Amino acid sequence: MNGEGGARHILSILVENRFGELCRIVGLFSGRGYNIDSLCVAPTPDPAFSRIILTTNGNDAIMEQIIKQVGKLVRVLEVADLNEVDHVEREMALLIVKTRNPAERQEVLNLVGVFRAKVIDIAPDAITVETTGSQDKVDALLGLLKPLGIQDIVRTGAVAIPRISAARGRDETRGPELVVPEADSAV
């Protein structure tokens, strides 16, 4: 796989909100052997556009090629590597944890409190927890709950946005600064 071994990157891609756009971008990644680790898509405040936030891995040369290729797609308006700007990111996870006795139940509730997570469902033998935070925070909570017996996990993957200080001076409804390098046929 082309992207193995490189750093984790978060790409913010603004596209026209038309059917098939996500498919074209995902097809570009799979066609060139780049893995998408997580993917989130939603309309922007202007429903004519959608923002795709995806995470992938690659070194600087690979990321440059990915950005160039994505930028060449007709309905892609902006591509930005958020690793290049100060940004905030969050991930959400929902998980079901077994609780076989009151002591385990209390241990789960204590961890939920420490990590500022939420209990969103409860049964005599299990608790459903919602946690939001950085990937490291979510991973840390999962690591502590794993010995108790996690029955199921659903994770969103990263969503991210430039910090306000990085976004000033540009149209805030459009997202990160436009980064569409010149086309390169090397990929």
Q: What is the pLDDT of residues 73-116, one digit of tens each?
A: 889 999 999 999 999 999 999 999 999 999 999 999 999 999 99
Contact, 8 vs 81, CB < 8 A? no
Percentage with pLDDT > 70 across the chain: 86
- What does the alpha-carbon distance between residue 124 and residue 101 come to, in Å, rounded to a whole number? 9
Tell me the average pLDDT across 115-132.
Answer: 96
Residues 115-136 have a mean pLDDT of 96
**CA proximity to 29, closest of 60, 84, 69, 75:** 69
| Residue 183: per-residue pLDDT | 43
Q: Residue 107: is it exposed, middle or buried by C-beta count within 10 angstroms (0-12/13-18/19+)?
A: middle
Q: What is the pLDDT of residues 45-64, one digit of tens each?
A: 999 999 999 999 999 899 99
125 or 166, greater pLDDT:
125
Contact of 6 with 53, CB cutoff 8 Å: no
Residue of 140, 170, 179, 139 whose CA lies nearest to 155: 139
